[in-house]
Amino acid sequence: CLLLMSSLPPPQHKFSKDTNADLLGFVDDFNGIIIDSKSLPTDKEMFGIVLQASLEVWKQEKRKGIWLKIPLPTHAELITEAIGQGFECHHGESGYVMFTKWLPETPNTIPAYTSHFVGVGGFVLNDKREILVIKEKNGPVTSIWKVPGGTADPGEDIAETAVREVLEETGIPCEFECILGFRQLHTARFGKSDMYFICYLKPKHCDIKIQESEIADAKWMDLDEFLNLKYYQGVYKKLLELGKDYADGKRDGIVAESLPVVFKPGNNTVYYTDNQSRL
């Protein structure tokens, strides 16, 4: 769920003649309040008074979800007070903890935090029909040959992740051509789900320079030899065969196109099958 700030000026409430403290609240598109963390007092007792008064005002205004971002470490003492007033932890990052509180007497519709990890692998094939493969130094599968890849960084598109990870791990710069396919897993780290995309990439040269901190070995391997390795069965066998079929012209890929959102600033990346992409 994407929270969009209202274009109207944020309402400002004074809660008591005995205090000069104000809490600022930005009305979101779902009639909720996003508390401006810059308006939070650092004193726990003062915070408790102001927060309680704020909640009363917002209940009268029939607001719904309240979002409270507590900066760390400067405002850490406020956490127990927020919990005491019925806020629940929604998620946390290195510099803050986000809390939420649902005000109406109706089912809570505040969305859960991020539910998926995104991993990306690069299917890199050269003109000799050899695929770029690596062995990792760390992790659960250090003894097998696999395609290079890794986890998407925040704000990074799938295509960007594929190109970056291949370059970092092998020193091979590539051009993204298409997504071949992906798999979804629901028993990943921290009880979250995981999506793994495999992308077809064109190498700009074939001179390998491994990332010594992460990669034990890397080489170009005959594609058929790689696909016949005994440990590739089931899910990953299928994903790799998609790459072979695409290289052989038997299957279309999923291309990426950046397009304007129009009703707000910025672009989104749209992914779709395109049988004209190789003409």
- Predicted confidence band of residue 8 (pLDDT cuts 50, 70, 90): very low
Task: List % helix, strand, coil for the chain (3-state, nearest 5).
Answer: 25, 35, 40
- Give the model's pLDDT for residue 112: 85
**Is 154 or 238 the better-scoring residue by pLDDT?**
238
- Give the model's pLDDT for residue 7: 34
- Predicted confidence band of residue 277 (pLDDT cuts 50, 70, 90): low
Measured CA to CA, the distance from residue 223 to residue 126 in angstroms comes to 10
Give the pair of three-digit tokens for residue 264: 């707000």
Contacts of 38 (CB under 8 A, 6+ apart): 24
Contact of 194 with 188, CB cutoff 8 Å: yes
Q: Is 263 left (phi over 0), alpha (psi -120 to 50) or beta?
A: alpha
Give the pair of three-digit tokens for residue 85: 């007033």
Is the confidence at residue 23, as pLDDT, over 70?
yes
The DSSP secondary structure of 109-138, one letter per residue, reads -PPPS--EEEEEEEEEB-TTSEEEEEEESS
- Give the model's pLDDT for residue 22: 59
- Give the model's pLDDT for residue 116: 84
Q: How do beta strands 174-185 and 267-273 pair?
A: unpaired
Mention the CATH class of domain 116-273: alpha beta
- Give the model's pLDDT for residue 141: 81
**Domain residue ranges of the chain, discontinuous segments joined by +:** 12-102, 116-273
Give the pair of three-digit tokens for residue 24: 């600022």
Give the pair of three-digit tokens for residue 17: 């003649």
Is the confidence at residue 16, as pLDDT, over 60?
no
Q: What is the pLDDT of residues 90-128, one digit of tens each?
A: 999 899 999 999 999 999 989 888 888 899 999 999 999
Fold designation for 12-102: Aminopeptidase (3.40.630)
Q: What is the pLDDT of residues 50-101, one digit of tens each?
A: 999 999 999 999 999 999 999 999 999 999 999 999 999 999 989 999 999 9
Q: What is the pLDDT of residues 137-182, one digit of tens each?
A: 987 788 899 999 999 998 899 999 999 999 999 999 999 999 999 9
Q: In what order do the strands lie in the sheet with 149-151?
A: 149-151, 116-124, 193-203, 174-185, 254-260, 267-273
The reply to whether 116-273 shares the fold of 12-102 is: no
